[in-house]
Structure 1
Amino acid sequence: MSKKILFIGHDANRAGAQLVLLNWLKEQKKRGIENYLLLERGGVLLQQYQKYAKVWVWQVERDKGNKILKKIPFLKREEMVIEEPSREEIAILIRELRKERFELIIGNTVASLNVMQKIQGLRANLACYVHELDFSLSMYASEADLKFLAEKVKHIWVVSKKVGDVLQKRCQINENKITLLSPMVEFSKNPKAKSAEILRMELEIPEEAKVVFGCGLAEWRKGTDVFIRVARMLIKKSPDLHFVWLGISDNLFSEEIKAEIRKFDTDGKIHLVPVKSDARPYFELADIFFLSSREDPFPLVMLEAASIGLQIVGFRGTGGIEDFSEGLENVLVENLEENDAAELIWQQLNISQKQKEEISNELKQRVKGYELQSFVARWEKIESELV
């Protein structure tokens, strides 16, 4: 019999860990299990979460000029501010949660540890599903959070072996407390999505040109700058190649990338595309998926590439790509060796059709281990063994 679980998420933004949690809740709901979720903040996935779980949001959205607005009701309520709840609001929320009598509280990412500490009085067993490596641990968790993880959290699940290694080294967490729980991915098919052929025309990429694709919100961790430098090397070697990065936004890092390629990409061989809700046509457009990440605990985009049999190239020591590609040849080069990455991409672009088909079939087979049913089977085994 399933335990009564309260999940904790740090927000409802559209990103890897949040999507894993959404799919988890969705599958449990299908199986008749009631879901409960406490979010620190809201986000674009909030309404989706509310379809599959009873949801509470810790932080409160208020009008900036609340007192003035009450006195002058015709003023527009456009500016909002997110605040911590008052003591009274916290007390009400804790009472609501206590009534549910949860047996287990699971934080989805270390960023949820902040809220978990505030509700530990519920007296349920505490667990955390960790999706972060070194840089993200520093970014999203305080030293107090990590101490709490090591000392107070009873069960720790990690998305990849690399995450477990980092937790043992950085937080001195005993390996017996850590269990591998590889994430799942759900591939949605949008019937209105553009075809790869239409996309190629829109990007003005010739029909015969080969395409290297990279994906992710442009930032240091995702190595968008690494992708651009490797692209520059390969365009010098073969001017007919095209490179597409999906995930440019209005952040400073994106602006720096744009400024960099303006210096040398006079023929428009590098295409920088804003974030899209449906990335599948871009994968279908490509000949190689280059995972240029410096740090990626378990990249779901890698699974999406593999699901259509798209060849993958990436770096050792960066996270979940090593778990997925274990035993495969011609996938990984040493960590951030950009020249080696360029050489391997070039080699893989020029292998025979028979070799491409063999690689494609192997990748499609491997990705089945990360589909929803496989994840649920892993989770049910873990849950049955919890004390």
Structure 2
Amino acid sequence: MQRFAFRRLPRCASLKTQTVQVRHIQYHANGSKLPPLVFTFDIDGVLLRGPHTIPAARRALDMLNGANPMGVKIPFILLTNGGGTHEEARRHKLSSQLGVEIHSNQIIQAHTILKSVVHKYAEKPVLVLGGRNDVVRKVAESYGFKHAYTTLDVLAWKPEAWPFHDLTPEERASTKAVDFSRIPISAIFVFHDPRNWSLDIQIALDVIRSRGIIGGPYIDTPEPEKPIELVFCNPDLLWKSDFPQPRLGQGAFRLAFQAVHEALVGAPYPYVQYGKPTTATYKFAEKVLRDRLEELAGGRVEEMPRVYMVGDNPESDIAGANGAGWPSILVKTGVYEEARGPPTHTPTYIAEDVEEAVRWAIDREMKQK
């Protein structure tokens, strides 16, 4: 590793014009170099609003692609509490929307972390919730879960399990023929926001209270010896779409499920929580970043560049980054609304949009001695 003397280059409008010293740039045997900072971006409310690209996003990504005073490409990953599709499908869509090539190993969705626990349940039947039809089942299978089932499968097996929803032809076509009286469910994974809360709450309760056999007798004990593991991948109570007001997220579904469970059994059910701002998700993201940097460098990265988190949600993006020791930048293009008062978790910086966020972070790093 060696110091890199910065030479004067044309600046982005918001960067100061004095000559400064770049903190350090790592050089590697293959001639590649890594800048002193990398980025982790939320997607919804930062780069996109609903299906629409936020204009500042493309300008920000141009800077990361080399149009910056350092004259180097700045690596980044996308860390979202969204999901419901495979990372490869998501990267194709994002590449088209953002106008830059996104690789699947740059995307961490809420459920991507489940790849790290699949070995526990690869051969066991699991219930997967969320998304449309059997899309999350296919995602689960691609991760290595060999026996994944949906609540639509249950409804196709016994319509009386929830008689308030009739399967559409498309839903029925997505189901597997299964006799759940012979299938002991070992875990429930809420991959993505459920589309039918009432159906999913009912079937999840059936699994938990009958110790895995849907339709079996309920066994309600305070601390079961072998509880059904319940995993939520996204704690967000709210998320920002192109609707004028934020929408309820998977965190709201979790609260609804726990309220019903407590009303029936007398206590909430123990669960595992992934997604921002959990420590597990940020550690997973840091590993993905390191792997990405070593791929680009063609060798081991001895010292991680500083990681900047850019997000729109103080409760997830900012809280998680602060907990991980990353500088955090809150943008005003998503969930956070300045008119409602200061954010619940204090960011390192508040920016109008992601373009300003990237410029500020680059300027800050260039001032480091």
Q: Quick one: higher RCO (CA 8 Å, sep 6+), 1 or 2? A: 2
From the two aligned structures, give the one with the greater helix fraction. Answer: 1
TM-score normalised by the chain length of structure 1? 0.36
TM-score normalised by the chain length of structure 2? 0.37
